[in-house]
Chains A and B, each alone.
Chain A
Amino acid sequence: MDDKIILYGADWCPDCHRSRDLLDSLKIKYTYFDIDSDSKIKNKMLEITNNLNVIPTIILPDGQILQEPSNKELLKALNLSDVSNNQDNQTVHDLIIIGAGPASLSAAVYTTRERIETLILEKAVIGGMAAVTDMIDNYPGFEEGVSGLELSEHLEKQAERFGAKIEYNEVKSINLKSSGLKTVQLIDNQELVAKAVLIATGSDYKKVNVPGEVEYLSKGVHYCATCDGAFYRDRKIAVIGGGNSAIQEALFLTRFASHIDLIVRSTLKASDVLIERINQLVDEGKITIHLDTVPLSFNGDGKMISSLSLQNNKTNNKFELVVDGIFVFVGLDPNSKFLKSSDVRLDDRGFIITNENLQTNIDGVFAAGDIRSGATMQIASAVGEGATAALKIRQYLED
């Protein structure tokens, strides 16, 4: 039945593109006639429409003639009105990318160069976690390292140079149940529609979940050294965590703090280069490392932090350190809460499960970067995944 649909239109006609985009996205076959290409075509259309010169004119297999239909009217005529109840004359984006970190921006560079219209939605900071990282030492191509903010700005400008659009908004939920078009709901109740969606929302620093952590947020408890480190000039602070992020951030904080206590649950798990650097600072007396140690509580006077209570895992010895601030870097949590009500399959930690094409369990919905189950949490990997996802999305849109 599909191949008997006839659509009369013209290249200059936006509504014709809208109707064609809708049919294409639903993979419904039709025959397209450009009325400007041949006067016989236009005359044929006028004959069918009783001289009503309106495009798009769409002839359905059952003989229905639709002229300049809204998307809703077209879907209704095709008995597909349940595909989405909010597609009336709405722009159908080729691709919506949720998140604007390295995976997203790198995907956008590829898609926009391929003329795939791309809208990026970001609720917080362009560059994501990379942007709030002081110095990135292991991103290829920068022999002296590069600041996270600078790298993010370059990625953003590059994506925008090819035509990517970035909108500052937050996604509330997504409706991916339907075949064909995907609907993205924003917190301001706007609804956006796209043929494909790339989820690249990354991750955020985990909390340690001890008493005082929430109470003293930004009042001595912090998760962003580049944002809040400057408040601790010549002050004593504690950094919690023993991985690459914790060590990198502790090194950054030595610019400000007079002394840092590094609280590590087991042993240091950072790269050898970082461990070497931190050991130099230990020798200089600037940093003290407490291995096998966990925080029990963050304490203060109700207004600001004044100390933290700790316990050694091996000896069970409890002790307290007097500090002015605590910076927490104990791992990452996925930014996938908005997917809870969707059918996108997540692993038991909330990261998105994809196949080898970086596609989720739902056709046309892809994931890349830190949000993806099994991701290596490296900026270089995220950039690579963004590029891969873009190429797979191109293939999906062409099929």
Chain B
Amino acid sequence: MLKGVTIFTTNTCAYCHMVKKYLNIKGVSFEEINLDENPHRRSEALELSGALTVPVTVVTRKDDTKEIIVGYNLAKLAPALI
């Protein structure tokens, strides 16, 4: 069961756009952290993903376990949302 979904994005990132679109199609609500508007949170994205890239999607379950999906990766994102 999902507790929440957070996505780190930037304004120009087409893959971020795709993740948001996918979540909208699946009816999953999410919090978006735009790193262009919140540059001070870049280190947070890096810490979570270990990578300097977006999108980074953080799926938090009811038991507070987290799954981090780097990039637009449907093979990982789809099962993480179940």
Q: Which residues of A contact B (CB under 8 A)?
A: 123-127, 131-132, 134, 147-149, 152, 168-170, 187, 218-220, 222, 224, 226-233, 303-304, 325
Of all A-B residue pairs in the complex, the 7 with the closest CB atoms, nearest first, are A218-B51, A131-B14, A226-B12, A231-B52, A218-B53, A227-B13, A230-B10
The reply to whether A124 and B52 form a contact with Cβ atoms under 8 Å apart is no
Q: Which residues of B contact A (CB under 8 A)?
A: 10, 12-18, 21-22, 35-36, 39, 42, 46, 50-54, 70-72, 74-75
Within the complex, what minimum Cβ distance (angstroms) separates B38 from chain A? Answer: 11
A149-B14, A227-B15, A229-B12 are known; give 12 further A-B pairs, CB within 8 A.
Answer: A125-B14, A125-B17, A125-B18, A125-B72, A126-B18, A132-B15, A134-B12, A148-B14, A168-B22, A222-B53, A230-B12, A303-B50
Looking at the complex, which one of A124, A220, A224 makes contact with B18 (CB distance below 8 Å)?
A124
Looking at the complex, which one of B46, B53, B75 makes contact with A227 (CB distance below 8 Å)?
B53
Within the complex, what minimum Cβ distance (angstroms) separates B46 from chain A? Answer: 8
The CA of A232 and the CA of B35, in the complex, are separated in Å by 12
Instruction: Report A-chain residues with C-beta under 8 Å of the C-beta of B36.
Output: 230
The residue on A at minimum CB distance from B53 is A218
Instruction: Report B-chain residues with C-beta under 8 Å of the C-beta of A222.
Output: 52-53
Q: List 20 A-B contacts (CB under 8 A).
A: A124-B15, A124-B72, A125-B17, A125-B72, A131-B14, A147-B12, A149-B14, A169-B74, A187-B75, A218-B52, A218-B53, A222-B53, A226-B14, A227-B16, A228-B52, A228-B53, A228-B54, A229-B10, A231-B35, A325-B52
The CA of A226 and the CA of B15, in the complex, are separated in Å by 10
Within the complex, what minimum Cβ distance (angstroms) separates B10 from chain A? Answer: 5
Instruction: Report B-chain residues with C-beta under 8 Å of the C-beta of A131.
Output: 14, 17
The CA of A231 and the CA of B12, in the complex, are separated in Å by 12
The CA of A219 and the CA of B12, in the complex, are separated in Å by 19
The reply to whether A226 and B13 form a contact with Cβ atoms under 8 Å apart is yes
The reply to whether B15 and A125 form a contact with Cβ atoms under 8 Å apart is yes
Given A218-B70, A227-B10, A230-B54: A149 and B15 interface contact (C-beta under 8 Å):
no
The CA of A217 and the CA of B50, in the complex, are separated in Å by 11
Instruction: Report A-chain residues with C-beta under 8 Å of the C-beta of B54.
Output: 227-228, 230
The reply to whether A231 and B22 form a contact with Cβ atoms under 8 Å apart is no
The CA of A230 and the CA of B70, in the complex, are separated in Å by 16
The reply to whether A230 and B72 form a contact with Cβ atoms under 8 Å apart is no
Instruction: Report B-chain residues with C-beta under 8 Å of the C-beta of A304.
Output: 52
Within the complex, what minimum Cβ distance (angstroms) separates A98 from chain B? Answer: 16
The CA of A229 and the CA of B46, in the complex, are separated in Å by 14
Instruction: Report A-chain residues with C-beta under 8 Å of the C-beta of B18.
Output: 124-126
Within the complex, what minimum Cβ distance (angstroms) separates A167 from chain B? Answer: 11
Instruction: Report A-chain residues with C-beta under 8 Å of the C-beta of B51.
Output: 218-219
Within the complex, what minimum Cβ distance (angstroms) separates A148 from chain B? Answer: 7
The residue on A at minimum CB distance from B22 is A168
The reply to whether A219 and B74 form a contact with Cβ atoms under 8 Å apart is no
The CA of A124 and the CA of B75, in the complex, are separated in Å by 11
Within the complex, what minimum Cβ distance (angstroms) separates A149 from chain B? Answer: 5
Looking at the complex, which one of A170, A219, A227 makes contact with B50 (CB distance below 8 Å)?
A219
